[in-house]
Amino acid sequence: MSLEAVNLSQSFGGRSLYRGLNLRVNPGECWGILGLNGSGKTTLLHSLAGLRIPTGGQVLLEGKPVRETPRRHLARQIGVLLQQQSDEFPVSVLETALAGRFPHLGVWGATRACDLELARHWLERLGLSDFGERLASTLSGGERRRLAVATLMLQGPRIALLDEPDNHLDPARRKEILELLAGHFTTEGRSALMTLHDINLARRHCSHILMLNGEGDWLAGRGDELLTQARLEWLYRCPVTRIEGPSGPIFLPGY
């Protein structure tokens, strides 16, 4: 299952976020998207998911336009983790997680025993097994983030589009969740793209990197080739110090 951006462009108010973007995400790859605030990272994810019409170009899923793909089939293939979740209705943690199964339910939409079993598995895996009956709106920011990840896992997409998946997470949980996502979505023909602000997390967890400089220009390639001091200073427009760590280089923006 491949996802491809072909000559993709996006602009707002005369400002070009990216232009002529060509990107192919293949099974087994995890892409990290880096850039300043407002550089188009979230906009790009929404375009790749078929949620936003780009200014130019097109997005292809297995060679077919993503916006022409039937919605239920698309939801089985692509999952989106948004930056923030809102809980407009008083639903429980378990009910929220089960919403991820909607693309797989029959015509009557009845929850099956296998769906409940899968929900309990992922809630336990994400450290939420004791919270099933609690209202989702009562969770902390980090707990709510883990619930969003559990819901995505229940959806079971082949391709995951993850917008700042480490939002609200403490350092220990951040490591745990990113390892889970990167590991899960680079096996059995799956793939992932994630927006991140931490260069070093991207270097550690992502096989490939896309840099958006917010002025139309972009760079894409393997992380071990693209993540250099010079390119990062071009991207973030500030000094970047490189030091050698026990498992590879560590980049410190602003120093």
Alpha-helical segments (H) within 19-82: 41-48, 71-77
Taking the C-alpha atoms of residue 240 and residue 14, their distance in angstroms, rounded to an integer, is 30
Any domain includes 100: no
Domain count, the chain: 1
Residue reference for tokens 């072909």? 6
Q: What is the pLDDT of residues 130-184, one digit of tens each?
A: 999 999 999 999 999 999 999 999 999 999 999 999 999 999 999 999 999 999 9
Q: What is the pLDDT of residues 124-133, one digit of tens each?
A: 999 999 999 9
Any domain includes 53: yes
Q: What is the pLDDT of residues 50-103, one digit of tens each?
A: 999 999 999 999 999 999 999 999 999 999 999 988 887 899 999 999 999 999
CATH of the domain at 174: 3.40.50.300
Can you give the pLDDT at residue 84? Answer: 85
Can you give the pLDDT at residue 152? Answer: 98
Taking the C-alpha atoms of residue 246 and residue 100, their distance in angstroms, rounded to an integer, is 39
Any domain includes 149: no
Q: What is the pLDDT of residues 1-55, one digit of tens each?
A: 899 999 999 998 889 999 999 999 999 999 999 999 999 999 999 999 999 999 9
Angle between helices 141-155 and 113-125 (to 10 degrees): 140
pLDDT(215) > 80: yes
pLDDT confidence bin for 241, thresholds 50/70/90? very high
Report the mean per-residue pLDDT for the chain. 95
Can you give the pLDDT at residue 106? Answer: 76
The helix (run of H) or strand (run of E) holding residue 213 is none
Can you give the pLDDT at residue 89? Answer: 85
Any domain includes 168: yes
Any domain includes 109: no
DSSP character string of 93-157: HHHHHHGGGGGGS-TT-PPPHHHHHHHHHHHHHTT-GGGTTSBGGGS-HHHHHHHHHHHHHHH--
pLDDT(226) > 90: yes
Residue-range definition of the domain harbouring residue 231 = 3-88+158-253
The helix (run of H) or strand (run of E) holding residue 237 is none
Any domain includes 129: no
Can you give the pLDDT at residue 168? Answer: 94
Q: Which residues contact 112 (CB under 8 A, 6 or more apart)?
A: 105
Percentage of the chain lying above the pLDDT 90 cut:
91
pLDDT(108) > 80: no
